Structure 1
């Protein structure tokens, strides 16, 4: 496999993986021209040899096989028209396995991709959604219009 997929599986940046490759810490990795060829173990993960100094690595031990699904509920958006703020329904849902969480605003802390399947909708009926293997954090689960108490957007989250 290449460096992009291996870094995604390990949960580390591609640059960090390139450092580990340069140090010879990825077992069996070979450079083929400009590109690295990284073998995988029987568990489907690249093998990283531990360093002699410093803290132990915190990369993922197992690949997450099912991505988290983020869906914007169009039905709730239409239903919220004309309602007072205290009666608004959450418009964003996060589905992971059998668990569903709802809110108004969320942050994805890594790469994600948009899926459009008009002929094979998701079990919830959605034709368009966002998938990610990275942690997702709800920023707003209670809709608040009062400017004195509303959450102010943080520039840190959008960098």
Structure 2
């Protein structure tokens, strides 16, 4: 596997994984030209050799069973159209197992990936969502238009 997939599985940044590779701490990893080939063990995870000094590593020892699903609820966005700010419903939901949390602003600290499955929707009916194995944090769960942050500049992609 490559560095991008391995960093997502381990729950660390790609840059940190490259440092571990340069130090020779990823067991069995070999460089093939410009790219790294990283083997996985029986549990489907790359094996990191712990260092002898310093703090204990924070990488994931085993693969997470199910990622957190971040869903932007399109029907709530449409339902909020024309409502006054105090009546707006939260449009972001984080589904983690049986738990479902709602909010307006969300911070994803680690790696994540966007999934689009038009022919295999999620249980909630979503065709597009974001998956992450890292903990996520709601910044705003009670919408307050007076304290809502305005973007400094708009970027169009």
Normalised TM-score (structure 1)? 0.81
> SS of 1:6's equivalent?
helix
The aligned residue for residue 92 of structure 1 is: 92
Distance 1:154 1:41, change over 3 A: farther
- How far residue 96 of structure 1 moved from its aligned partner, in angstroms, is 1.6
User: Aligned partners of 1:122 and 1:21: how far apart in 2?
Assistant: 36
The aligned residue for residue 63 of structure 1 is: 63
The aligned residue for residue 73 of structure 1 is: 73
User: Aligned partners of 2:122 and 2:59: how far apart in 1?
Assistant: 30
User: Aligned partners of 1:75 and 1:132: how far apart in 2?
Assistant: 23
Distance 1:99 1:145, change over 3 A: same
Structure number with larger C-alpha Rg: 1
Task: Tell me, yes or no, if the aligned pair for 2:43 and 2:63 is still in contact at 8 Å.
Answer: no
The aligned residue for residue 9 of structure 1 is: 9
Distance 1:23 1:127, change over 3 A: closer
> SS of 1:118's equivalent?
coil
Task: Tell me, yes or no, if the aligned pair for 2:11 and 2:133 is still in contact at 8 Å.
Answer: no
The aligned residue for residue 41 of structure 2 is: 41
Task: Tell me, yes or no, if the aligned pair for 2:10 and 2:45 is still in contact at 8 Å.
Answer: yes
Query: Larger relative contact order (C-alpha < 8 A, sep ≥ 6)?
Result: 2
Q: Deviations over 1:36-63 (max 9, x none)?
A: 2222222222222221211111111222
Do structure 1's residue 18 and structure 2's residue 18 form an aligned pair? Answer: yes
RMSD value over aligned CA atoms? 2.2
> SS of 2:18's equivalent?
helix
Normalised TM-score (structure 2)? 0.82
- Structure 1 residue runs of 5 or longer lacking an equivalent are none
- Structure 2 residue runs of 5 or longer lacking an equivalent are 153-157
The aligned residue for residue 110 of structure 1 is: 110
The aligned residue for residue 52 of structure 1 is: 52
Figure out how many residues of one structure are paired with residues of the other and give that number: 152
- Between stretches 39-48 and 82-91, larger displacement belongs to 82-91
